[in-house]
Chain A
Amino acid sequence: MNLKIHQDHARFRQIVKGRIRKELRKFISSGELIGKEGDKFVSIPLPQIDIPRFRFGDRSKGGVGQGDGEPGDPLSEGEQDGSSEGQAGDQEGQHVLEVDVSIEELAEILGEELELPNLEDKGKDRLVSTRDRYVGIRRVGPESLRHFKRTFREALKRQIAAGIYDPKRPMIIPIRDDRRYRSWKTESVFESNALIIYMMDVSGSMGEEQKQMVRIESFWIDAWLSTQYQGLEKRYIIHDATAREVDRDTFFHTRESGGTMISSAYKLCAEIIDRDYPEQEWNIYPFHFSDGDNWSTDDTRLSLDILENRLVPVSNMFCYGQVHSPYGSGQFIKDLVAKFSDEDKIITSEIPDRDGIPDSIKTFLGKGR
């Protein structure tokens, strides 16, 4: 149904998005949002979007309430102002509005702000399969779906209300009206056809801050690509001297150390693609983040070899992000650029610090492959 309010609501959301855009870089480089799923709503604090009026300062204002307690007792916890610590009362113009935005929307705003192009699609039509989910209760339905507990509860309620329930002889007899049935909803499931493989160097030279930068960047890349593809497959690889595949949670929270063999990650990545994702049907985006401090030149040679022969041919693009680390030599990016200077599927970017993240994202995704 089209309500008139939707216009006003859309206008309000537009204003909210405008505000978010202004503060976007701040949101992106703070790590608070990472690890959240794309369709989840997150609360972001924005400078107030309200109509200013002359009003009393909140602090000095008391009020009248009802309930127990002696003079000097605090009001119960739930009624305390959330922001009671700190000196909120002394600061001017600190009006904060919490707006709920989905990560998806944020990613879209990010896309608009960084002028990211829409990606080209490869692969066949999306397959849609359907699935039934039991989500609610209703009063009619087939007997096979009868919800016994609810039915008896209704009957009990009715009998108590009507005064015919006898606790000494608790007999509950549901009548037709009491019956409750499970109800279901049919949902479509989209078959995905894009794959992102994140590879992160977790060797000793990558400090916590470096890893955090990688996570933030991967998170936003992930969020943006999710808006581009209905269903998106993600695989996560971490490596030091050996590589292993991990789940999302581990990827975003792990801490490890050791030597660095980049080839191990590339090898594993290639294996995953060969095994699970036929290249004709999949848009494949491997991302690799490291501080560029590889173990040996031999290994670098091996890595570049795998890249050239196994990864680049099947991928839409291959992105390498190098975070600046105080320990690493940062040699790998130079080798990479030297070898693939004329291969435009390979995109490299250096990330000096958190503020560099948006620009790096733009470098990676700005080409629209």
Chain B
Amino acid sequence: MLRSSRWTFGLPRYLEEIRVVIREYAVECGLDFFPTFFEVVNFDQMNEIAAYGGFPTRYPHWRHGMEYDKLRKSSTYGLSKIYELVINNDPCTAYLLEGNSTVDQKLVMAHVYAHCDFFKNNQWFAHTNRHMIDEMANHAARIRRYMNRFGVEKVERFLDLCLSIDNLIDIHNPPLVRSNQTDWDDEADDTLGPGDVPKLTAKPYMESYINPPEFIEEQKERLREESIQDASFPSRPQRDVMEFLMTHAPLKQWQRSILEIVREEAYYFAPQGQTKIMNEGWATYWHSKIMTEKALDASEIVDYADHASMVTATSGKQLNPYKMGVELFRHIVMCWDKGRYGKAWDDCDDMEARCAWDTGDGLGMEKIFQIRRTHNDITFIDEFLTHEFVREQKMFAFGYNPRHRRYEIESRQFEEVKQQLLSQLTNMGQPPIAVVDANGSNRGELVLEHDHRGIDLDPGYTMEVLTNLYAFWKRAVSIRTKADGEPIIATFDGSEFKEEKIGE
């Protein structure tokens, strides 16, 4: 208890009293969080912290200034307001906005505790550094040192380069090890010599039937071809382009170090992008539960309802993750409480029976706690989005209609909405791109490949990023992708940019 009181040093007494109560409620609800430490900051400080991505100790860079500019403008004009910020760290740090009404602060605290529970327990956050606040300060110190030694402009320019590829990481393979993996050889059978084909064991008299000679020949041919392909480097497409450059690009030590910093931070932030809907939904679910069932004073209900409705307001084109998440969690609770899952439920076609379905299972709570541990947005949507939910929430898929030059609602069909939603979330909305060849044209050129799934890359940005990649690789860099359905390869060779169609 002594420790926790030290952490909340600085919180004014009336907030500290609220905090203790809210924390108690959160624990009663079964939330399990890191020690959480709140700090009250003013408007400007809040914008500053938000501009630094939550870390006031972050390294200096102009884009933080740009972010600050935007935030300050939109909050000054009342277009947006940051109520709270939570940092995934142990102890968890959260910032409250000075001057918010008591009911807002209550809401925010409940929200924060739920976020913190999510950070601690969701498996996608398992790999994140829980001492990131310290780590960020270390990064900043390193970058400042480089700035002193090599010049601000030079370091800043290199940071720009690194940031321009910070979405080229492999979010599904998150451990922060620098894998110097050469080849995956552990599958291969040691007893086989080069060129040998693994055979099924067979009695000698069955040999020619089980391992027919022509098949063996075929296999040998295939292996030979594969070994030629193996000579290409990397042996398999590598999605972690940052790591690849860190290991293989001709960089100076300080450059490698900065690239490492940017990569580490990208991996740290990735799970927050991967679980946006779940994380916000979870926090909203719990703050509304804690507030409405426990913490609200009668006089606060109007204000609470007002603010809570702002948080979950929807507006056509932008999907509100708070709304989507909280409704889906509520939907799941309802389904599992009433036993609306499993084969019997799926097979039931009787509308009346479905509407009245209630087995009294009461498993809702257990289920959502389990989900918050194992899922990310994609699996969450994939598994739990239902016909009923799409219909009730009036969800639709929209697209751009070039003929009318406007965005139009395309469909309200469950399958299409779900597909659209999933593709929107895949790879956090970033194009999947991997290094496929580091010896292109046998001249050491870097070749990337965009795994094209229906949406073209933005050509202007592609050009600029290729230019930046050239600055790392110092030889021609190209990317294979598609434009208007045609496979193309776009190349920057240091002086000019060209785009060619390739035959497949």
Contacts and interface: CB of A to CB of B under 8 A. Distances in A.
A308 to B, nearest CB: 52
A139 to B, nearest CB: 12
A173 interface: no
A267 to B, nearest CB: 48
B411 A8 contact: no
B420 A79 contact: no
A54 B400 contact: no
Interface string B389-405: 00001111111101011
A14 B69 CA distance: 13
A52 to B, nearest CB: 4
B296 to A, nearest CB: 11
A136 interface: no
A84 B167 contact: no
Interface in B159-178: 160, 163-168
A8 B400 contact: no
Interface stretch (A68-76, A199-207, A242-250): A68-76
A5 B407 contact: no
A197 B168 CA distance: 60
Name A's interface SS. Answer: loop
Contact of B408 (A1, A59, A74, A78): A74
Interface string B174-206: 000000000000000000000000000000000
B376 to A, nearest CB: 17
A72 B408 contact: yes
A189 B406 CA distance: 50
B460 A79 contact: no
Contacts of A78: 315
Contacts of B60: 4, 7-8, 11
Contact of B319 (A10, A15, A63, A162): A63
Interface stretch (A91-99, A220-228, A320-328): A91-99
A60 interface: yes
Given A9-B69, A62-B398, A63-B398, A79 B468 contact: no
A85 B314 CA distance: 26
A57 B394 contact: no
Contacts of B355: none
Nearest to A88: B405
Given A57-B455, A63-B424, A11 B62 contact: yes
Contacts of A60: 400, 454-456
Contacts of A148: none
Contacts of A100: 73
Interface in B292-317: 298-303, 314-317
B457 A54 contact: yes
Interface stretch (B26-34, B44-52, B89-97): B44-52
Nearest to B61: A8
Contact of A66 (B48, B395, B450): B395
A56 B456 contact: yes
Interface in A1-33: 1, 3-5, 7-15
Contact of B44 (A3, A56, A64, A95): A3
Contacts of A13: 65, 69
A60 to B, nearest CB: 5
Given A49-B66, A63-B398, A55 B431 contact: yes
Given A9-B69, A10-B65, A53-B167, A71 B459 contact: no
B412 A93 contact: no
B420 to A, nearest CB: 5
B334 interface: no
A5 B398 contact: no
Nearest to A161: B299
Nearest to B408: A74
Interface string B48-78: 1001100010001111111011000100000
Contact of B316 (A75, A85, A162): A75
Given A74-B404, A84-B405, A55 B461 contact: yes
Contacts of B394: 66-68
B368 interface: no
Given A53-B165, A57-B455, A162-B298, A75 B406 contact: yes
B464 interface: yes
B interface, how many residues as a size bin? 35 or more
A172 to B, nearest CB: 16
A51 B420 contact: no
Interface string B205-218: 00000000000000
B463 interface: yes
Interface string A289-317: 00000000000000000000000000000
A80 interface: yes
B166 A53 contact: yes
Contacts of B160: 51
Contact of A65 (B61, B168, B398, B460): B398
B168 to A, nearest CB: 7
A161 B297 CA distance: 10
B219 interface: no
A205 B76 CA distance: 48
A190 to B, nearest CB: 25
B65 A59 contact: no
Nearest to B52: A5
Nearest to B300: A161
Given A55-B431, A55-B457, A64 B417 contact: yes
A95 B456 CA distance: 17
Contacts of A133: none
Among A55, A76, A81, find the residue whose CB has the most chain B CB atoms closer than 10 A.
A55
B323 interface: yes
Interface in B429-447: 429-431, 433
Contacts of A56: 429, 431, 455-458
B495 interface: no
A210 B47 CA distance: 47
A54 B469 CA distance: 11
Contacts of B167: 53-55
Contacts of B56: 4
B318 interface: yes
A3 B48 contact: yes
30 contacts: A5-B64, A5-B68, A7-B65, A8-B60, A8-B68, A9-B65, A50-B63, A50-B66, A54-B458, A54-B462, A54-B479, A55-B430, A55-B431, A57-B456, A57-B457, A57-B458, A57-B459, A61-B400, A61-B455, A63-B317, A64-B397, A64-B417, A66-B314, A75-B409, A79-B315, A84-B406, A92-B459, A93-B459, A161-B300, A162-B299
Given A12-B66, A54-B457, A62-B399, 15 more contacts: A3-B48, A8-B65, A9-B65, A15-B62, A52-B464, A53-B461, A57-B455, A62-B398, A64-B421, A70-B409, A71-B409, A71-B410, A72-B408, A79-B315, A93-B463
Interface of A: 1, 3-5, 7-15, 49-76, 78-81, 84-85, 89, 92-95, 100, 157-158, 160-163
Listed from nearest, the 7 A-B pairs whose CB atoms lie closest are A93-B460, A12-B65, A62-B399, A8-B65, A52-B464, A9-B65, A5-B48
Interface of B: 44-45, 47-48, 51-52, 56, 60-66, 68-69, 73, 160, 163-168, 298-303, 314-320, 323-324, 393-400, 402, 404-412, 417, 420-421, 424, 429-431, 433, 450, 454-465, 468, 479
